[in-house]
Chains A and B, each alone.
Chain A
Amino acid sequence: AQSVTQPDIHITVSEGASLELRCNYSYGATPYLFWYVQSPGQGLQLLLKYFSGDTLVQGIKGFEAEFKRSQSSFNLRKPSVHWSDAAEYFCAVGAEYGGATNKLIFGTGTLLAVQP
Chain B
Amino acid sequence: DAGITQSPRHKVTETGTPVTLRCHQTENHRYMYWYRQDPGHGLRLIHYSYGVKDTDKGEVSDGYSVSRSKTEDFLLTLESATSSQTSVYFCAISGDYASSTDTQYFGPGTRLTVL
Measured between C-beta atoms, what is the minimum distance from B89 to chain A in Å? 11
Report whether B100 and A106 are in contact in the complex, using a CB–CB cutoff of 8 Å.
no
Hey, which chain B residues are within 8 Å of A99, CB to CB? 56
Interfacial residues of chain B within 79-112, with CB under 8 A of chain A in the complex: 90, 92, 94, 96-109
A-B pair number, CB within 8 angstroms: 67
Beyond A32-B101, A96-B100, A101-B97, whether A106 also contacts B58 by CB under 8 A is: no
A18-47 vs B, Cβ < 8 Å mask (1 yes, 0 no): 000000000000001010100001111110
Bound-state Cα–Cα, A90 to B4, Å: 20
* Chain A residues with a Cβ under 8 A of chain B: 4, 32, 34, 36, 41-46, 49, 51, 90, 92, 94-104, 106-109
A107 to B104, CA, bound (A): 16
CA distance A49 to B102 in the complex (A): 10
- Is B22 an interface position by the 8 A CB rule? no
